[in-house]
Copies of this chain bind each other. A is one copy, B any other.
Amino acid sequence: MAEEHTIFVGDKPFMNYVTGVVMQFTTQGSDEVVIKARGKFISRAVDIAEVSRKKFLEGQIDLRNIEIDSKQFQNKEGKDVTVSTIEITLKKI
């Protein structure tokens, strides 16, 4: 059974997230890892997926699925804001 492990991308150092993905697949033994991001962090999520897949775990993991969406929420001033989201699922080969 595939377990879902999720990495939320924010503004921590880039390699924190890559290490997070690698650890999930190696020491945690996950079959799948989901990288989630929104807004400006979407580009970063793609970088993290690509570096994990092509450099650190080359030949061991691959893309399984990519979804994009957008969500509405209220910001601190009570104004409706729409933000785009991405979910990149990586799987063990």
Contact of A43 among B50, B54, B84 (CB under 8 A): B84
Interface residues as binary, A12-53 with B (CB distance below 8 Å gives 1, 0 otherwise): 000000000000000000000000000111110011011100
Q: A2 → chain B, closest Cβ, in Å?
A: 21
Which of A51, A54, A68 counts the most B-chain CB atoms under 10 A from its CB? A68
Copies in the complex: 2
Contacts of A46 in B (CB 8 A): 42, 68, 84, 86
Q: Is A70 an interface residue (CB 8 A)?
A: yes
Sample (23) of A-B pairs whose CB atoms are under 8 Å apart: A39-B43, A40-B43, A42-B42, A42-B43, A42-B46, A43-B43, A43-B84, A46-B68, A46-B84, A46-B86, A47-B70, A47-B84, A49-B68, A50-B68, A50-B69, A50-B84, A51-B70, A54-B70, A63-B68, A66-B66, A66-B67, A66-B68, A68-B88
